[in-house]
Amino acid sequence: MFALKSKLPEFDRIVLPGTSFANLRVLPRLLRWPVRFMKRLMDGHIIFPKHTEGFGIAAILGGAIIYGSVIGGQFGSVVDTVTAKAGFAVAEIEISGNTHTTANDVFAALRLGDQRSLVSIDAGASRAALKQLPWVGGARIAKVYPDKLQIEIEERDAFAVWQQGEALTVVQEDGSVIGGYAADARLSALPFLVGKGAAEGGKAFVETVAKFDDLAGRVRAFIRIGTRRWNLRLDNGMTIRLPDEGLEDALVRLTELQAELGVLDRDLAAIDLRLKDRTIFALTENAQASREEFVKARAEAAKKARKERGSRI
């Protein structure tokens, strides 16, 4: 290692008290220049240019102002305003892929003001904001300079409308909720699921019923009963009570009864298929009243016939 040498006279006097040049320690190479600079500064050999102090103070104050603006959230608005006036204000927004998500929903989520600059838009934060909208499953955002913003939305796929209590929601195939249901003709053709647990298990049940074309076209609601089994509500108000096991066998039996007797077109309130060895039919109130009138009329006719036979004897 080489000894620290200098042609400057002041370094001839840098000797630690109680030491000699023979025992003088050599500074590491990285510390030599700072030590020389500080020694020359303290001895007055370095003179700063005029106004350096003023510039230094201004730089410190400017840095403090910028730091405070960033911390206070004001720096972004300054950049936004300046770059917008420089020609980078958003003048065109192109939205694609949206069916249930309106343009107003997008504008509100992204907080796009009149002077919003394309430069200051954070694509990642914008995607996260759009994904908070009920129907948005994903989004892609592209900035086309100087003034165009392209937004491509990927919406969630609606499977059914689910009713639990008084609440109506739109759900996906796995039962996850997309959002509240609003009267929309585009959603009116979706399967209507009713009851606790109907959303989670609805897909498999709906697909099973769909195998029976004549029946599937008449179903208006798929009703979950006690999270164990299902009922069907038909377009004429009839209820089909299905078993928790042997579902397809019960549906086969129902289609056979329809082919032979036209049971789905009768004045019936319900058809109970929960028992394997028998089918139970429940009459509507009108049918029950008609039946009672028929039974009563038949009994009166029989009584009258008996009286007439007795009078002839």
pLDDT tens-digit profile of 132-176?
999 999 999 998 888 889 999 999 999 999 999 999 999 999 999
Domain assignment present for residue 310? The answer is: no
Query: What is the side-by-side order of every strand in the sheet holding 148-155?
Result: 92-96, 148-155, 136-144
Domain count, the chain: 2
Domain assignment present for residue 280? The answer is: yes
Round the CA-based radius of gyration of the chain to a whole number and report it: 43
- Asked whether residue 8 carries a pLDDT value surpassing 70, the answer given is no
CATH number at residue 261: 3.40.50.11690
Tens-place pLDDT, residues 43-62: 666 665 665 556 555 555 55
> What is the model's pLDDT at position 183?
73
- Same domain membership, residue 198 and residue 281: yes
Lowest mean pLDDT among 113-122, 193-202, 259-268: 113-122
CATH number at residue 96: 3.10.20.310
Q: What share of the chain is helix, strand, coil (3-state, %, to 5)?
A: 45, 20, 35
Domain range for residue 94?
85-155
Domain assignment present for residue 295? The answer is: no
- Asked whether residue 102 carries a pLDDT value surpassing 70, the answer given is yes
Angle at 164 between CA 159 and CA 169, to 5 degrees: 40
Query: What single-letter DSSP state applies at residue 212?
Result: S
Domain assignment present for residue 176? The answer is: no
b (16+ CB within 10 A) / e for 178-204: beebeeeeeeeebbbbbbeebbbebbe
- Same domain membership, residue 209 and residue 278: yes
